[in-house]
A and B are shown apart, each in its own frame.
Chain A
Amino acid sequence: MVPVNYYIILSAILFTIGAVGVLIRRNPLVIFMSVELMLNAANLAMVAFSSVYKSFSGQIFVFFVIAVAAAEVAVGLALIVEIFKTKHNINVDEMNSLKG
């Protein structure tokens, strides 16, 4: 059996990749993918811990997180489509009409 430490290290790596992706990428679609990576890093940690403690609450948590992530992305994509309709561009750097 793979020791739990390995899972946690993998999840930390995934989380870092996701966080860096959110901060440096300028395409909202890629940013969403990075956020998904962060969420899944948390999910992986949760499932790994859940098997250590022989408890279901971590796994149940993961189901809810997956559902919430889907809802969040649905709203995000809808907003991206609307922004594209008015601006014909979805680069995050171009979204600067609100300032001051």
Chain B
Amino acid sequence: MFNSTTFLAILPEILILVVAMLILVAEPFWKAEQRRNVGWLTAGGLFAVMIISLLFGRPGDPITVLGGMVRFDWLGFFFKMLFLFAGAATSLLLMDNDRVGHRGEAYLLLLASLLGMDLMAASADLVMLYLAIETTSIPLYILSGFMLADEHSTEAGFKYLLFGAMSSAVMLYGFSLLFGFAGTTNIYELKTVLAAGPNTLVMVLGIIFLLLVGLGFKVSVVPFHFWAPDVYQGAPTPVAGFLSTASKAAGFAVLTRLFFVAFPGFSQSWTLIFAVIATVTMTVGNLLALPQTNVKRLLAYSSIAHAGYVMIGVVSFSVLGAASVVFYLAAYIVTNLLAFGIVMAVSRIIGSDDVKDYSGLSRRNPGLALMMLAAFLSLAGMPPFGGFVAKVFVFAAGVQAGYVWLVIVGILNSIIGVYYYLNVMKYVYLFRMPNEDEEKHPVPLTRPYTIALVILALGVILVGTLFAPWFSWSDMAAMNLF
């Protein structure tokens, strides 16, 4: 049962564990003021994990290993690489956070949740899926409430935990009914059983609703989005960035695999449900982002809106649709991490997340302002950045599947998005600091921020200009679903 393929299938997970052990061993040897170096170790380690997995751990034809628990295919592999990248960037961004960065546990919890995400993207069995989702969530609950002296942070962690525990319990009930209905917990066997058995549509729709509560919470679509703005605002900003990118992408990895593989026979019903959810999510996310004055809350609502755009790809239920979901998430991860990274770097110096305090930023640090422009234009969906190409693919998939009305809603929503993204840039570029000389108040970047932000900014431009290789990888991943 165990052979070399088994180990290759879980190679990234094994290596993440190795990095975690290294941290556990190395951390006590550093003096308290040097502990932030754990961040270098984590980022370097995760980068090495990526290289080794890309060199040796590439999947061939899709196979299922570990007694049907883990699927070894390009879809899972591509998502794993995305998560590793997001984890490396987040650990660099954590380093100079004064209240979190010098604590070794923070990096360890980050790695634990990365491990869970990798398994979420690869799991082929409901047991594995539930465990992976909880392995992802529980460390993130702790990380959200990590700043114990800060009332906002503990409150954010607690709110996240309450919503998370509730929605995962509902999802678990869905799993138990699914098991009772089909007699198997394997996602790939569910398809044949559900197609062959004497199923009533109502029963399956009920189960789909229960599953949607749990997964909708992870990807924060309306009406399961209430936690997102509060948690993003209260949690340490690097953690909020990680939550809004990697955690959301992991949710979508599960959503696409579960629904595309297990419920293809009921696609007419669930695509319609998803189309409605996508419409509501985009509209509510964008409209609520309009009046926000706190940049972190604004990014939270914008990330809800982006979940709506990704949903269009899921609704399409085609190879192009799945590929556009994967591509969108890749572009979104680099873009949103860049946006959150900039917010961290700025708030570390100016001590505020208020949009008004960003006045004159273009004179205080021109390079940072330029990267912020790239990130926000990419979020708004402007060429030549990644966000533009990603939106084109998602909308193309929607049109191909016959959901023209949904694509029109998406385009109208993108226009609303441009307004509030550019509104922030107005403060950065057009406004001046009141009665102050900006030259005297520079916003310097420390080395980890510089490295992380420059890599992410290059990523945003690369995904947007040289999109052909990225898209062919996304396409290869999507092929594995059909």
Q: Give the docked Cα–Cα distance between A53 and B176 (Å).
A: 13
Partner of B127, one of A39, A57, A80, A95: A57
Confirm or deny: B250 has a beta carbon within 8 angstroms of a beta carbon on chain A.
Answer: no
**The one of B155, B158, B173 that contacts A42, using a Cβ cutoff of 8 Å:** B173
Which residues of chain B have C-beta atoms less than 8 A from A18's C-beta? 169
Do B233 and A83 have beta carbons less than 8 Å apart?
no
Would B185 and A68 count as touching, CB distance under 8 A? no
Q: Indicate whether B177 reaches chain A with its CB closer than 8 angstroms.
A: yes
Across the interface, do B180 and A49 meet the contact criterion of CB distance under 8 Å? yes
Instruction: Give the distance in Å from the alpha carbon of A86 to the alpha carbon of B185 in the complex.
Output: 44
B36 interfacial contact with A, CB 8 Å: no
Q: Find B177's partner among A35, A39, A45 (CB 8 Å cutoff).
A: A45
Query: A76 near B173 (CB under 8 angstroms)?
Result: no
Q: Are B161 and A87 in contact (CB under 8 A)?
A: no
Q: Cβ of B172 < 8 Å from any Cβ of A?
A: yes
Instruction: Enumerate chain B residues within 8 angstroms of A60, measured Cβ to Cβ.
Output: 127
Whether A95 pairs with B179 at a CB distance below 8 angstroms is no
Once A65-B172, A80-B158 are accepted as A-B contacts, the answer to whether A49 and B131 lie under 8 Å apart by CB is: no
When A38-B170, A39-B169, A83-B155 are in contact, do A45 and B292 touch as well, CB less than 8 Å? no
Establish whether residues A71 and B138, one from each chain, have CB atoms under 8 Å apart when the complex forms: yes
Residues of A close to B269: CB separation below 8 A: none
Verify if B156 is at the interface (C-beta below 8 Å from A): yes
Chain B residue at smallest Cβ distance from A43: B176
Question: Contacts A38-B169, A38-B170, A39-B169; is A95 near B161 (CB within 8 Å)?
Answer: no
Asked whether B179 lies within 8 Å of A49 as measured between CB atoms, the reply is yes
Given known contacts A79-B141, A97-B155, A68 and B131 CB-to-CB distance under 8 angstroms: yes
CA distance A72 to B133 in the complex (A): 12
Taken together as a complex, chains A and B put the C-alpha atoms of A45 and B184 apart, in Å, by 14
8 A Cβ contacts from B133-181 to A: 134, 138, 141-142, 145, 148-149, 151-152, 154-159, 161-162, 165-166, 169-170, 172-173, 175-177, 179-180
Report A-chain residues with C-beta under 8 Å of the C-beta of B156: 98
Q: Which of B151, B159, B292 lies at the interface centre, i.e. has the most chain A CB atoms within 10 A of its CB?
A: B151
Complex Cα spacing A49 to B207, Å:
15
Report if A35-B165 is in contact (Cβ < 8 Å); known contacts: A76-B158, A83-B155.
Answer: yes
* Bound-complex Cα distance A46 to B297 (A): 40
- CA distance in complex: A42, B185 (Å): 14
A100 within 8 A of B: yes
Residues of chain B contacted by A50 (CB below 8 angstroms): 179
**B145 and A82 form a contact (CB under 8 A):** yes
Rounded to whole Å, the gap between the CB of A28 and the closest CB of chain B is 7
Residue from B156, B169, B175, B183 with most neighbouring chain A CB atoms (10 Å) = B169
A60 to B142, CA, bound (A): 27
Is A75's beta carbon under 8 Å from chain B? yes
Residue B229 at the chain A interface, CB threshold 8 Å: yes
Kindly provide the distance from the CB of B414 to the nearest chain A CB, expressed in whole angstroms.
24
Chain A 54-66 near chain B by CB (<8 Å), digits 1 or 0: 0101101100110
- CB of A19 within 8 A of chain B? yes
Cβ-defined contact, B126 with A61, below 8 A: yes
Report the bound CA distance from A23 to B176 in whole Å. Answer: 22
Q: Does B294 contact A (CB under 8 A)?
A: yes
The answer to whether B154 and A82 have CB atoms under 8 Å apart is yes
Residues of B within 8 A of A19 (CB): 170
| Minimum CB–CB distance for A61 against chain B, Å | 5
Q: Tell me the complex Cα distance, A32–B169, Å.
A: 11
Is there contact, CB below 8 Å, between A100 and B127?
A: no
* B294 contacts across to A, CB distance below 8 A: 100
The CA of A98 and the CA of B233, in the complex, are separated in Å by 7
B173/A41 in contact, CB under 8 A: yes
Say whether, besides A39-B169, A45-B173, A100-B294, A75 and B155 are in contact (CB < 8 Å).
no
Known: A52-B183, A76-B158. 13 other contacts (CB 8 A): A8-B180, A28-B158, A41-B173, A43-B176, A45-B176, A46-B179, A50-B179, A57-B184, A60-B127, A72-B134, A72-B138, A87-B151, A100-B293
Q: Could you pull out 30 A-B pairs where Cβ atoms are within 8 angstroms? A: A18-B169, A28-B158, A35-B169, A38-B173, A39-B172, A42-B169, A43-B176, A46-B176, A49-B183, A52-B180, A52-B183, A58-B179, A58-B185, A61-B130, A61-B175, A64-B130, A72-B161, A72-B165, A75-B138, A76-B158, A79-B157, A79-B158, A82-B154, A83-B158, A86-B154, A92-B162, A97-B155, A98-B159, A98-B234, A99-B230
Report A's interface with B, CB cutoff 8 A: 8, 11, 15, 18-19, 22, 28, 31-32, 35, 38-39, 41-43, 45-46, 48-50, 52-53, 55, 57-58, 60-61, 64-65, 68, 71-72, 75-76, 79-80, 82-83, 86-87, 92, 95, 97-100
* A-B complex: 7 closest residue pairs judged by Cβ atoms: A49-B180, A38-B169, A98-B230, A45-B176, A42-B176, A53-B183, A42-B172
